[in-house]
Amino acid sequence: MAAASALPLLCAGRPSLAAANDAEILVERTRVALLEFQNDPEILPSVSLYVQNAYGVLIVPNQVKLGFILGGSAGRGLLLARDTATGVWSDPAVYGIYGASVGLQLGGQASDTIYTIMNKPALDRLVASTSFKMGADASGALGPIGAGIGAGTTPNFGEDIYLFALNAGLFGGFSVDGTVTVPMPSWNKTLYGRDVAVSEILQGSVMNPATEPLKQVLSQF
């Protein structure tokens, strides 16, 4: 119960007080999380296939899942969009991500996670929403490595969003349905120096040189 009640604090954090180094630390942690996926020979082939065909990716370093009967997860991550004509990735937008579940569960887990968004309508709905819920606003599934659910290893993707996770803890995996994402305007303002909409970031209206190493690693998938 205490773990579940702490989720809003984990998700909200203190975005109104976020300093430039906080946002750039998140960018660097996200880059390191991508390197962890690249260094895992078991999961990399599947992740690469999905990333290369995705319209967007939401990468959450150290997404935390807690539970005791009532449970949930919370984290902060970066959303990037891929230009399907050139394969070039946009600068990132900061998002909070959280979810809740009910059932027999005990333990804790921290995971680097990648959500691959496999079509433009799903990406557009996420960008336009102030509170996007997977399973309601878009269908979701675990990627083929996680629990063996999803589109397998072919490009015939049947879901809007797939989740890949590198787990460390007692839980076997994350649930996709019910996961909620919310944009974090104050963090995006900190990262780009002015108030900026997520759509502007993904369309290239603003840039931050500090995000280049992250985009370079993502382009290597």
Per-residue pLDDT of 170-181, as tens digits, reads: 334 445 556 789
- d(CA 97, CA 94) in angstroms, rounded, equals 10
User: How many separate domains does the chain show?
Assistant: 1
pLDDT of 178: 66
Residue with the bigger pLDDT between 213 and 168: it is: 213
- Residue from 33, 7, 22 nearest 191 by CA: 22
pLDDT of 153: 38
Per-residue pLDDT of 104-140, as tens digits, reads: 444 445 578 899 999 999 999 999 999 888 765 555 5
Whole-model pTM over 0.75: yes
What average pLDDT is seen over the chain? 76
**140-142 and 161-169: which strand pairing?**
parallel
Per-residue pLDDT of 32-51, as tens digits, reads: 999 999 998 888 888 999 99
Q: Which domain holds residue 168?
A: 2-218
pLDDT of 5: 42
pLDDT of 164: 86
Per-residue pLDDT of 3-23, as tens digits, reads: 444 444 444 444 444 456 789
Q: How confident is the model at residue 65 (pLDDT cuts 50, 70, 90)?
A: low
Element at 71 (helix H, strand E): strand 56-81
- Residue from 122, 30, 20, 39 nearest 76 by CA: 30
